[in-house]
Amino acid sequence: MKLLRYGDKGQEKPGLLDAQGNIRDLSAHIADVAGAALSAASLETLSKIDPASLPLVSGSPRIGACVGQVGKFICIGLNYADHAAESGLAVPSEPVVFSKWTSAICGPNDNVEIPRDSTKTDWEVELGVVIGKGGRNIDEHNALEHVAGYCVINDVSEREWQIERGGTWDKGKGFDTFGPLGPWLVTRDEISDPHQLDLWLEVDGQRYQNGNTRTMVFQIPALIAYLSRCMSLQPGDVISTGTPPGVGLGIKPTPVYLRAGQVMHLGISGLGEQRQLTVQAD
């Protein structure tokens, strides 16, 4: 299934994308694509619904973040060896963990705001993992049983605040609009191998990132097991699993960064595409 949330910001309704690409309203069955609705039992119940029996959503509504009420937005840094190299950093021996604030979350096609006085705002296409079954000290061998599904994430990053402003990556990662999620939450059963997915990103039509999740340093089961030793994972938590090479910071000899008025277009095979216009923040 491809689950989604549609409507004005803060008033999104749950929906399902049918085989013809139409949005169907799920409001009669779940309150939101969030929390308990992401459990295996809930997803099994939803999968048995005939999409044609659901109300058809007319027009072209705004698509919101594909997960609502996110408790934790956990990110993994330097999880592709070639991205670590372009960043001038060693391949990590353990996962590099940081957070994006949940206030950064926005829809996949919402505008991305360039922060005030920023000259180093960057892009990062990433595979998102959405937790459906919570737990602590999860065993790596059954870690994928805790996954509700997958989505596209743009881990937008302000490099000056991330690297040059006294440490803690979180500062450069958590500006408002720096976490587009979606368009769809694609349930785990539709993705036979999340470690064989192409991912790419373009700015103004120029392809900067071309990668595949098979080159991850730490694969998804290992990440879930590791994170669940640091914290309890809960339904609706989102894990952003790292980016392949091609970010603006890594371009030689001169890094390339975003400015207002540009368009980012990105996607992952089987998970859909995002498109964001960059605008100057107030």
CATH number for 171? 3.90.850.10
Whose tokens are 């609706």? That residue is 236
Q: Is the pLDDT of residue 86 over 90?
A: no
Share of the chain above pLDDT 90, in %: 95
Residue 222's pLDDT is 98
Q: Does residue 198 lie within any of the structural domains?
A: yes
Residue 236's pLDDT is 98
Q: Does residue 42 lie within any of the structural domains?
A: no
Query: Which domain covers residue 156, as residue numbers?
Result: 67-280
Residue 128's pLDDT is 98
pLDDT band with cut points at 50, 70 and 90 for residue 83: confident
Residue 101's pLDDT is 97
Share of the chain above pLDDT 70, in %: 100
**Degrees (nearest 5) of the Cα angle 94, 71, 102?**
85
pLDDT band with cut points at 50, 70 and 90 for residue 89: confident
Strands (E), the chain: 2-6, 13-17, 23-25, 73-77, 96-99, 105-106, 112-114, 121-122, 125-131, 147-154, 157-158, 179-180, 185-187, 198-203, 206-212, 238-240, 263-268, 272-280
Give the mean pLDDT of 110-137. Answer: 98
Q: How far is Cα 258 from Cα 220, in angstroms, rounded to an integer? A: 30
CB neighbours (10 Å) of residue 177?
Answer: 22
Q: How far is Cα 133 from Cα 39, in angstroms, rounded to an integer? A: 6
pLDDT band with cut points at 50, 70 and 90 for residue 35: very high
Residue 165 identity (one-letter amino acid)? R
Q: Does residue 71 lie within any of the structural domains?
A: yes
Give the mean pLDDT of 101-123. Answer: 98
Q: How far is Cα 169 from Cα 242, in angstroms, rounded to an integer? A: 14
Question: Residue 30's closest CA among 54, 64, 8?
Answer: 54
- The answer to whether the CB of 73 falls within 8 A of the CB of 102 is yes
Q: Does residue 150 lie within any of the structural domains?
A: yes
Q: Does residue 122 lie within any of the structural domains?
A: yes
Q: Does residue 172 lie within any of the structural domains?
A: yes
pLDDT band with cut points at 50, 70 and 90 for residue 167: confident
DSSP state of 271: T
Q: How many domains does the chain have?
A: 1
pLDDT band with cut points at 50, 70 and 90 for residue 151: very high
Residue 182 identity (one-letter amino acid)? G
Comparison of pLDDT for 167 and 172, the residue scoring more: 172
DSSP state of 63: B
Is the omega angle on the peptide bond into residue 221 within 30 degrees of 0, that is, cis? Answer: no
Q: Does residue 80 lie within any of the structural domains?
A: yes
pLDDT band with cut points at 50, 70 and 90 for residue 281: very high
Q: Is the pLDDT of residue 209 over 90?
A: yes
The length of the chain in residues reads: 282
Q: Is the pLDDT of residue 90 over 90?
A: no
Half-sphere exposure of 264 (CA within 13 A, CB side): 34
Q: Is the pLDDT of residue 87 over 90?
A: no
Lowest model confidence (mean pLDDT) among 80-94, 126-140, 221-235: 80-94
Q: Is the pLDDT of residue 88 over 90?
A: no
Q: How far is Cα 66 from Cα 221, in angstroms, rounded to an integer? A: 22
pLDDT band with cut points at 50, 70 and 90 for residue 232: very high
Q: Does residue 255 lie within any of the structural domains?
A: yes
